[in-house]
A = this chain, B = another copy of it.
Amino acid sequence: MEKKIVLLPGDGIGKEIMESAKKVLAAIESEYHHDFTLQECAIGGDALDRYGVPLPDDTLHACEDADAVLLGSVGGPKWDNQPPEFRPEKGLLGIRKGLGLFANLRPVKTFPSLLHASPLKEEIINESDMMIVRELTGGLYFGEPSERRNNGDEVVDTLAYSRYEIERIVEKGFESAQIRNKHLTSVDKANVLESSRVWREIVNEKAADYPDVEVEHVLVDAAAMKLITNPSSFDVVVTENLFGDILSDEASVLTGSLGMLPSASVRADGLGMYEPVHGSAPDIAGKGIANPIGMILSTALMLEYSLGMQEEAKAIEAAVTDCLEQGYHTSDLNIKDGKQMSTDEITEAI
């Protein structure tokens, strides 16, 4: 069956690693007899340079019509001094909101061959395997008013949620826990924020529908500590947009494999956008040395979550693990007695 995939290479190393995703998709296509139609569109700084806006309408429409979207990365110092509406990040926020991708799923797990690269002691990070479920289209990121007042003497941002928005992300958290290890950590700041108190009530209500899932509430400050002192105690973590931004980035450096981590941003009907967790790495862009594994594993997540291709996803993941175990790696890693490769070489190897 034909599947339409939109590719958004974006900025920095985005273009290079998207080439890796294409090669992997071509391999899956011929091995499993699929028919992928790929369409490349502009986003972020690239779109600003070419069309003057960070998210052209054509890009949004193409994504709406697709079965899934792959994103490289967005942003770079070149556009850092633009006014807010003309910054690459606006493209990212716009596509999340425009497509209604309310759930950001970020699996964080250790790769045995990379444990030595973790900043944490091995006995602490060992066996960690968690999934952060972050709300992506509400909260402080989109609440109104967000403005200066009294001639700029005051400024407000608004953390706003509807019950519905909280309910659907909390359900996503429970569902993720059900297919994993049946433990859900809900993170909030219920001792201070009214929105967190509503959040906590909804989690407690929904818990009745998922009796097999054990629920725990942790305050965001305590969660920031526990991620470091006891990362393996987490299974699924569900939280609102800004807390999820901070905690998922914190979690992403624990294993020492930031360059390998994929992420998915999805909505209820299965449409999803998949991207590596790392940024656009302008310092190494164009050199052909970027680590494509986060992008390749994002491609695997796409096959699994949006295209229903479990077996194909497993095949990609196995190929990555294999490669790492053979000591193949890019310059961001440092595997003893391993073989350092370029983006192209390691993609071929995988």
CA distance A19 to B252 in the complex (A): 42
Q: Is A119 touching B194 in the complex (CB atoms < 8 A)?
A: no
Distance, CA A167 to CA B248, complexed state (A): 30
Chain B proximity of A286: nearest CB distance (Å): 22
The yes or no answer to A268 lying at the interface (CB within 8 A) is no
Q: Is A161 an interface residue (CB 8 A)?
A: yes
CB distance from A97 to the nearest CB of B (A): 12
Q: Which residues of B contact A224 (CB under 8 A)?
A: 224, 246-247, 249-250
Assuming the contacts A121-B121, A156-B159, asked whether A193 and B140 have C-beta atoms less than 8 A apart, the reply is yes
Give residues of chain A (177-197) contacting chain B, Cβ–Cβ below 8 Å.
189, 191-195, 197
A52 in contact (CB, < 8 A) = no
List B contacts of A252 (CB < 8 A): 225
Residues 117-164 of A at the B interface (beta carbon under 8 Å): 118-121, 124, 140-141, 143, 146-148, 152-164
* CB-based contact B148/A194 at 8 Å: yes
Give CA–CA (A87, B219) in the complex, Å: 15
- B228 contacts A246, CB within 8 Å? no
CA distance A189 to B161 in the complex (A): 19
A249–B229 touching, CB < 8 Å: no
The closest CB in chain B to the CB of A242 belongs to B189
Q: Name the CB-closest residue of B to A246.
A: B224
Which one of B121, B162, B249 lies within 8 Å of A225 (CB-CB)? B249
Nearest chain B CB to A116 CB, angstrom units: 10
Contact of A120 among B119, B157, B191 (CB under 8 A): B119
Known contacts A120-B120, A193-B140, A222-B249; is A155 also within 8 Å of B228 by CB? no
Least CB separation from A83: chain B residue: B197
Decide if A344 is an interface residue (CB 8 Å cutoff): no
Q: Indicate whether A198 reaches chain B with its CB closer than 8 angstroms.
A: yes
A119 & B229 in contact (Cβ 8 Å cutoff): yes
Contact with B along A215-249 (1 / 0, CB 8 A): 00000111011011100000000000011011111
Chain A residues 49-100 with CB under 8 Å of chain B are 84, 87, 89, 93
Q: Does A253 contact B (CB under 8 A)?
A: yes
Residues 1-32 (chain A) with a chain B CB within 8 angstroms: none
Q: What chain B residues lie within 8 Å of A253 (beta carbons)?
A: 225, 228-229
Residues on B with beta carbons closer than 8 Å to the beta carbon of A120? 119-121, 228
Q: In the complex, are the beta carbons of A221 and B198 less than 8 A apart?
A: no
Complex Cα gap A146–B156 (Å): 13
In the assembled complex, the Cα of A220 lies from the Cα of B220 at a distance in Å of 14
* A316 at the B interface (CB under 8 A): no
**Which residue of chain B has its CB nearest to the CB of A244?**
B221
- Evaluate contact between A194 and B162: CB separation under 8 angstroms: no
Assess the A228–B250 pair: CB atoms within 8 A. Answer: yes
17 A-B residue pairs with CB within 8 Å:
A120-B120, A147-B194, A153-B162, A154-B160, A154-B161, A155-B161, A155-B163, A155-B194, A155-B198, A156-B159, A220-B246, A221-B245, A221-B249, A224-B246, A224-B247, A225-B258, A227-B250
| Besides A140-B193, A154-B160, A157-B193, 11 other A-B contacts (C-beta < 8 A) | A84-B197, A93-B192, A140-B159, A152-B198, A155-B160, A156-B159, A157-B159, A189-B245, A221-B245, A228-B228, A229-B253
The 10 closest A-B pairs by CB, nearest first: A221-B249, A224-B250, A157-B159, A155-B198, A225-B253, A156-B160, A89-B191, A155-B195, A146-B194, A119-B124
